């Protein structure tokens, strides 16, 4: 048993969809969430700068005695995971490996689509991991850079979003994928729009659920499960304009208790 909190971090607030899944699957666990809202988005930045920023985020949480780290950002998972593993004494879960495993299990025609930010797609991390499990699977990757700002502005059901999504996804329809991995923690908000374009036969794989299933397994194996009946949730961001509060509700649901605190990194 270990009642220390789980550290969850993201470039911004999209990772709250992952934190929400911890609350659902592991209701006795305390959480410290850190979102780098002063420097979001990471998806269009270089590998080098994402690694620099990611290590600052991980160090912040490690100093706060978290018992495990959840990298709730696909871009960070895609380009900085090894570097974070190098500095972390606690178990690390990323959002890519669990989604890959679930996707590989789900596909019947061996044609998987992956969507994500430019950084995630350019890294090739998904294709690489899928092919390591089953080299016969064909992977088709498309970057969807406007999905994050559209989701954050609450336009995920807007006709404009539908048009942009059609531009991004039409090729995947033509390529007859039967499984689509949502390679960004913001994308679950676009679930309905994506389903509308791909049709009901394509299985959508969201990272949050399989990631937290993996986390649960790791915590159980290592005897780190909490039995705390009053878990605490702390939220830190590196910049806190009014909109963070507003947008946070959209991603974490109504369960967000307590204040969002602002912290400085990299000074």
Residues lying near a second copy in the complex (CB under 8 A) = 37-39, 44-46, 48-49, 118-119, 145-146, 149-150, 153, 155, 158-161, 163-164, 167, 238-241, 243, 266-267
Residue 133 or 160 with smaller CB distance to a second copy: 160
Task: For residue 192, count CB atoms less than 10 angstroms from its CB and return exposed for 0-12, middle for 13-18, buried for 19 or more.
Answer: exposed
- 3-class SS of residue 202: coil
- Omega prior to 41 cis, within 30 of 0: yes
73 is catalytic: yes
Residue 44 or 232 with smaller CB distance to a second copy: 44
Tell the smallest beta-carbon distance from residue 119 to a second copy (Å): 8
Task: For residue 119, count CB atoms less than 10 angstroms from its CB and return exposed for 0-12, middle for 13-18, buried for 19 or more.
Answer: buried
Catalytically annotated residue among 73, 97, 112, 182: 73
Task: For residue 62, count CB atoms less than 10 angstroms from its CB and return exposed for 0-12, middle for 13-18, buried for 19 or more.
Answer: middle
Tell the smallest beta-carbon distance from residue 33 to a second copy (Å): 19
Q: β-strand 92-94 against 111-116: which pairing, if any?
A: unpaired
Tell the smallest beta-carbon distance from residue 245 to a second copy (Å): 12
Tell which residue, 1, 7, 3, has the closest CA to residue 215.
7
Tell the smallest beta-carbon distance from residue 233 to a second copy (Å): 23
Question: Which residues are CB-neighbours of 37 under 8 A, at least 6 positions away?
Answer: 12, 13, 237, 238, 239, 240, 241, 244
Residue 6 or 40 with smaller CB distance to a second copy: 40
Residue 127 or 150 with smaller CB distance to a second copy: 150
Tell the smallest beta-carbon distance from residue 35 to a second copy (Å): 13
Residue 98 or 119 with smaller CB distance to a second copy: 119
- Chain-centre distance of CA 174, in angstroms? 27
Q: β-strand 92-94 against 138-143: which pairing, if any?
A: unpaired
144 is catalytic: no
Catalytically annotated residue among 6, 16, 125, 184: 184
Q: Which residues are catalytic?
A: 73, 184
């Amino acid at each position: 048993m270990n009642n220390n909190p789980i550290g969850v971090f993201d470039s911004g607030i999209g990772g709250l969809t992952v934190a929400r899944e911890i609350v659902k699957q592991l209701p006795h666990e305390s959480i410290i969430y850190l979102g780098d809202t002063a420097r979001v988005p990471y998806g269009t930045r270089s590998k080098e700068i994402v690694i620099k920023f990611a290590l600052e985020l991980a160090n912040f949480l490690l100093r706060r005695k978290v018992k495990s780290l959840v990298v709730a950002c696909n871009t960070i998972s895609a380009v900085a995971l090894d570097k974070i593993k190098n500095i972390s004494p606690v178990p690390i879960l990323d959002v890519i490996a669990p989604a890959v495993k679930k996707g590989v299990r789900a596909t019947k025609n061996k044609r998987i689509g992956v969507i994500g930010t430019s950084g995630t797609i350019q890294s090739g991390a998904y294709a690489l991991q899928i092919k390591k499990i089953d080299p016969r699977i064909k992977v088709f990757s498309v970057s969807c850079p406007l999905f994050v700002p559209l989701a954050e502005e609450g336009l995920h059901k807007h006709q404009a979003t539908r048009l942009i999504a059609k531009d991004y996804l039409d090729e995947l329809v033509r390529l007859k994928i039967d499984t689509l991995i949502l390679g960004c923690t913001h994308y679950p908000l676009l679930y309905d729009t994506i389903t509308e374009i791909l049709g009901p036969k394509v299985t959508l794989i969201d990272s949050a659920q399989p990631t937290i299933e993996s986390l649960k397994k790791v915590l159980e194996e290592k005897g780190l499960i909490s039995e705390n009946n009053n878990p605490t949730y702390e939220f830190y961001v590196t910049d806190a304009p009014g909109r963070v509060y507003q947008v946070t509700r959209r991603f974490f649901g109504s369960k967000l208790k307590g204040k969002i605190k602002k912290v400085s990194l990299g000074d």
